[in-house]
C-alpha cells in the first residue's frame, strides 16, 4: 500500500512562535509516521516542499535526520545564510516539529572564499553544538536546475557529520513545483 503524502499539503496552522536554534526536540512518533523514512527520498521531498512555500530561486533548504548518543532521533532543517525563511515555511516547520538550525552571519565567507555558508554547513554547526550525529541528509533542489550538494558539503557530511545523502532529483521543466514532477538521477 502506498503512503499518501497529502499531509504535506495541509494548510499551516498559526503558531505563536517558531524557535530557531535552541536545544533540539526529538522526533515525535506522529512525525516519524508522517515522514515515512522507508521512502527512498523522504527528506528530499520534504525539503523541496518546504522550499516551495517560500523563495524558489536563491535559497537552499536541506533537512538532516540525526541521532543523539542515547538513541533519540531528530529532524533538523537549514537554509543557506543569504536566504530568509518565509512565515509559511516557519509555520509548517513549527507544526511538524522540525528543528531549525540558526543561520551563520551572511557576511561570513566559506573557507574557499566563494559564497556564504551553505544550508548543510548551518545544519552541521547546529548538530555539532548539541552532540548529534547525522544519519541521513536530503539532496534538495538548488535554484531551478535540480538536486545537488557541493563537494565541500559532501565531504563535510562524509568525513565529519556522518550519514548518507539521499538520491537527488532532476526537474522535468517544472521549476515552480519541484516536489510534483521528478525523475531519478
pLDDT tens per residue, range 69-96: 999 999 999 998 888 899 999 999 998 9
Question: What range defines the domain where residue 34 resides?
Answer: 25-184
Would residue 72 count as lying in a domain? yes
Say if residues 102 and 122 touch (Cβ distance below 8 Å).
yes
Query: Cα–Cα distance between 164 and 158 in angstroms, integer?
Result: 7
Residues ≥6 apart with Cβ < 8 Å to 35: 27, 42, 43, 46, 75
Would residue 18 count as lying in a domain? no
Quote the number of domains for the chain.
1
Q: What's the confidence (pLDDT) of residue 74?
A: 96
Query: What's the whole-number average pLDDT of the chain?
Result: 78
How many Cβ atoms sit within 10 Å of the Cβ of residue 152? 15
Q: Is 28 helix (H, G, I), strand (E, B) or coil?
A: coil
Q: Is the pLDDT of residue 11 over 60?
A: no
Question: When comparing pLDDT for 9 and 108, which is higher?
Answer: 108
Q: What's the confidence (pLDDT) of residue 109?
A: 60
138: alpha, beta or left, given left = phi > 0 and alpha = psi -120 to 50?
A: beta
Q: Is the pLDDT of residue 171 over 90?
A: no
Scanning 19-150, the segments in alpha helix (DSSP H) are 29-35, 42-52, 87-96, 119-129
3-state secondary structure 80-94: CCCCCCCHHHHHHHH
Would residue 135 count as lying in a domain? yes
Would residue 17 count as lying in a domain? no
**CATH code at 61?**
3.40.140
Would residue 15 count as lying in a domain? no
Would residue 12 count as lying in a domain? no
The arithmetic mean of pLDDT across residues 90-118, rounded, is: 79
Say if residues 138 and 63 touch (Cβ distance below 8 Å).
yes
Would residue 16 count as lying in a domain? no
The arithmetic mean of pLDDT across residues 151-162, rounded, is: 90
Q: Name the residue among 63, 34, 39 with its Cα closest to residue 51.
A: 63
| Least confident segment among 108-112, 124-128, 147-151, 181-185 | 181-185
Would residue 107 count as lying in a domain? yes
pTM strictly above 0.85: no
Amino acid at each position: 500500500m502506498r503512503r499518501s503524502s497529502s499531509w504535506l499539503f495541509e494548510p499551516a496552522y498559526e503558531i505563536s512562535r517558531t524557535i530557531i536554534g535552541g536545544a533540539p526536540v526529538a522526533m515525535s512518533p506522529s512525525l516519524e509516521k508522517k515522514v515515512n523514512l522507508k521512502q527512498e527520498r523522504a527528506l528530499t521531498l520534504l525539503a523541496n516542499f518546504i522550499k516551495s512555500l517560500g523563495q524558489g530561486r536563491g535559497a537552499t533548504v536541506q533537512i538532516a535526520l540525526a541521532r543523539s548518543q542515547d538513541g533519540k532521533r531528530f529532524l533538523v532543517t537549514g537554509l543557506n545564510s543569504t536566504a530568509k525563511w518565509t512565515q509559511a515555511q516557519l509555520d509548517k516547520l513549527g507544526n511538524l516539529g522540525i528543528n531549525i538550525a540558526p543561520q551563520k552571519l551572511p557576511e561570513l565567507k566559506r573557507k574557499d572564499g566563494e559564497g556564504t555558508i551553505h544550508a548543510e554547513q548551518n545544519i552541521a554547526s547546529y548538530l555539532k553544538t548539541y552532540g548529534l550525529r547525522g544519519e541521513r541528509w536530503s539532496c534538495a533542489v538548488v535554484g531551478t536546475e535540480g538536486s545537488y550538494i557541493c563537494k565541500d558539503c559532501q565531504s563535510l557530511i562524509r568525513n565529519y557529520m556522518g550519514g548518507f545523502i539521499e538520491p537527488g532529483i532532476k526537474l522535468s521543466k517544472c521549476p515552480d513545483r519541484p516536489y510534483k514532477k521528478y525523475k531519478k538521477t
